[in-house]
Amino acid sequence: MGNNQVLEKLQSQEEEVRLQGVKDLAQMGAALPLNLLYLALGDSSWRVRKEAVEAFLFLPRAGELTAEIVELLHSQDNAGLRNAAVEILTRLGKQAVQPLVEELNCNDHDVRKFAVDILGDIRDAGCIEAIIRALSDPDDNVRAAAAENLGKIGAPEAVPALLDAMENAELLMRFTILEALGQIGEGVPIDRIIAYKDDVLVRKALFDCLGRTGGEGAIPQLAEGLADKMPNVREASIAALDRISRSFSDAVGSCLSGLSGSAFDEVIGHVVHPLGGSNLPLKRSCIHLLTLLKGYRSAPRLLALLDDENIRHDAVQALVCLGKPAVLELLDQWENHPDQVRAYLCYLIGETGCTEGAERLFDCLGADDPSLVMASAQALGKLNIAEAIPLLAGFLGNVAPEVRESLLQAFSVLGQNHRQQVVDALFPLLRSEDADIRTAVVSAFGRLEGEDVQGHISLALKDESPLVRRAAVRALEGKAAGPHFDALIMALTDEDSDVRRIGAEILGSTGNAEAVDVLAVALHDEDLWVRMAVVQSLGRIGGEQATALVKGALNDPVGLVCIAALEAIADIAPDASAGVLVQALAHEDEEVVSVALQRLVSSGEQDWIPESSERLLGHPHWEVRLGFVRALADLQGDRCLPVLESRLLIEGEDLVRQQLLEILEDLRGSQR
């Protein structure tokens, strides 16, 4: 296409036509006429300009034309052209630095500002000195741009010049410099900027800067800011102290602890006040600062924040940090709180060791709200109150399953220091007529140590209820030595299939080779889930005998058991697994075949493909055929094209045909 035809398109009234004109230009490559491309860079449509920018940057000699693009910044009557030039220069990066630095001496202050902004976006170290010199530019906007971009670059070497520029700067420039110093964040002498603290108009910006640059030395000044008359200054002080406390927590805490009397109360009030606002980061800073202030009297205000899920965790953690005094403040209003809040209070009682709240916890064990019962049980466990043991035992059979688990956890904790009391309280319940209660007791015993406890668990293995027997077998996990090993073996003969399954699982977790003979018998269990558990346990135990038994399980009539055997063999005998997996490709269960196929593909081996290809491509189940087609493409790439093309001619399943077409298209594309 000729230049005149392209020019005609670029001058069209239709945006789409002009856009096509730019695309035509791009097709010309190195022969592209720059005057037409520059025309497109100034188009009224951002889409056309964007396409022109991409066309320019694609030119091999784009970097050599930097000076010409810089010149486009002088186009005062075409903002779009200027913007396009800015994008090109920014993306040219280091290649554009020197021409832009030279442009800082031009007479057009707008161009000088453009140059500073672009250099700031490029962020090349070689331009920092030039931007520092621009701090002395005669134009206000250029000076402000210089300060702003030095902050954006994060140039510590610019700190002295920025501080010098601040001495005679107007108000807005001081704001900009303080923001830049905060972004740089290092090497800023506190005494040079703290001198401006009496200027009420910049005090907030100053404290923002101190929070990012001041470190430990800024803490006293920021602490004073907490009592400032201006709310925005106080908020800046709060945020700054919070930031600094992340590195100097003790120093901030020590400084704040020096406040006394009315000054302390005033500061607490100022820190609490923003908690009623909507600024989430500020609220988090206030909460953290209250913990450093030890402001336990703010506990009711913190408790009110529990309704806000965005800040609830922060508030709870702060109350825990404030400790027992804060919780005691809250307990005074216990009757006025709903159950949800009381549940949090129970948690706080336990976390802070507030034994004064024990009576409240006892009362909550009989509450209708399950979350309140759970929280009180957990707290009683943490308080390590022996008197709670019979109470907890009394509720064991009268609560929902999720609440019962909390009671069991409490027994587990209490049993560490009051083991005998726990055993004495629970043992009579083993004779309860309620199987749920007996089950809970056995589960609790499973969390305790001692021969007497183990004896109780062994007896529970003979309980008439399968629920109790299941709990007893689970209670043996981690304790399966000596007589308990024999108990687990007996569990494999239980009439309840779940007891047998759990027993098989736990035997596997022992790693004891003596279990292999017993598990070999259980491989013939009538329940498929028991057989699966046995195979998996044999895989965990390992060894020659276990491996042989697992291989034998490949002949199980149920596919799920065969799949478990395949996975176990891959774990215990990886060197022998390839042959087993290839044999499994002939299995009558398509799920077994699919699993074997997936594992073979993941191994990267290809030796099995020739002997299995015909059978798998003609497999009666389309899922297997589809899996093998994908496997061939993954493993052989375009070498399998003839095989897949032949299969496409006779494939009758639409889903497989569609996949074949897509795979063939991809493979043919890779050959081009």
**156: number of Cβ within 10 Å:** 13
Closest CA to 114 of 99, 129, 124, 125: 99
pLDDT of residue 265: 84
Q: Where in the chain is the domain with CATH 1.25.10?
A: 583-672
**What burial letters (b/e) apply to 291-303, b meaning 16+ CB within 10 Å?**
bbbbbbebbebbb
More confident residue, 453 or 530: 530
Average pLDDT for 540-567 = 89
Neighbours of 8 (CB within 10 A): 12
- Give the integer Cα–Cα distance in Å for 608 and 621: 20
The predicted structure's pLDDT at residue 480 = 56
Top CATH class of 583-672 equals mainly alpha
CB 306, CB 316: distance < 8 Å: yes
Q: Is the pLDDT of residue 483 over 70?
A: no
Mean pLDDT across 528-537: 94
Quickly list DSSP for 95-156.
Answer: GGHHHHHHHTTSS-HHHHHHHHHHHHHHT-GGGHHHHHHGGG-SSHHHHHHHHHHHHHHT-G
SS3 for 447? coil
Q: Please check whether residue 445 is in contact with residue 478, taking contact to mean a CB–CB distance below 8 angstroms.
A: no
Q: Is 50 exposed, middle or buried (0-12, 13-18, 19+ CB in 10 A)?
A: middle
**Amino acid 1: pLDDT:** 59
Mean pLDDT, range 596-606, rounded to an integer: 85
Say which residues have a Cβ less than 8 Å from residue 98's Cβ, sequence separation at least 6: none
Q: Which amino acid, residue 89?
A: L
Q: What is the pLDDT of residue 135?
A: 94
Give 179-205 pLDDT, tens digit per residue.
999 999 888 888 888 888 888 899 999
Specify the pLDDT at position 599: 86
- Give CA–CA dist 237/223, Å, rounded: 7
Phi/psi at 20 (nearest 5 deg)?
-65, -35
Could you tell me which of 633, 620, 639 has the C-alpha nearest to residue 666? 633
Instruction: Tell me the average pLDDT across 3-19.
Output: 88
Q: Which of 130-134, 255-259, 488-492, 553-557 has the highest mean pLDDT?
A: 130-134
pLDDT digits (tens, 9 = 90+) for 384-401: 889 989 988 888 777 777
Res. 672: pLDDT tops 60: no
> Is the Cα torsion angle 311, 312, 318, 319 positive or negative in sign?
positive
Residue 573: alpha-carbon gap to chain centroid: 36
What pLDDT does 490 receive? 86
CA distance 267 to 273: 10
CA 50 to chain centre: 36
Q: How confident is the model at residue 121 (pLDDT cuts 50, 70, 90)?
A: very high
d(CA 269, CA 313): 22
Tell me the pLDDT band of 451, cut-offs 50, 70 and 90. Answer: confident
Please give the structure tokens belonging to residue 125.
């170290």
Q: Mean of the per-residue pLDDT values for the chain? A: 89
How far apart CA 248 and CA 395 sit, in angstroms, is: 48
Q: Average the pLDDT over 105-128 and give the result.
A: 93
* pTM across the whole model: 0.68
Fill in the DSSP letter of residue 621: S
pLDDT digits (tens, 9 = 90+) for 632-649: 888 888 888 888 888 888
The mean pLDDT value for 566-580 works out to 82
- Tell me the mean pLDDT in the region 135-148: 95
What does the longest C-alpha to C-alpha distance in the chain come to? 103
284, 271 Cβ separation under 8 angstroms: no
- Identify residue 628 by its one-letter amino acid code: F
pLDDT at position 482: 60
> What are the angstrom distances between the C-alpha of 166 and each of 68, 112, 148, 349, 450?
36, 21, 13, 53, 75
Paired tokens of 491: 């569990």
Calculate helix-pair angle for 140-153, 171-184, nearest 10 degrees: 10
Q: What is the end-to-end Cα distance of the chain in Å, rounded? A: 28
Q: Which of 359-368, 476-485, 598-607 has the lowest mean pLDDT?
A: 476-485
Task: Tell me what pLDDT residue 257 has.
Answer: 80
The per-residue b/e assignment along 433-455, b for 16 or more CB within 10 angstroms, e otherwise, is eebbbbbbbbbbbbbbeeeebbe
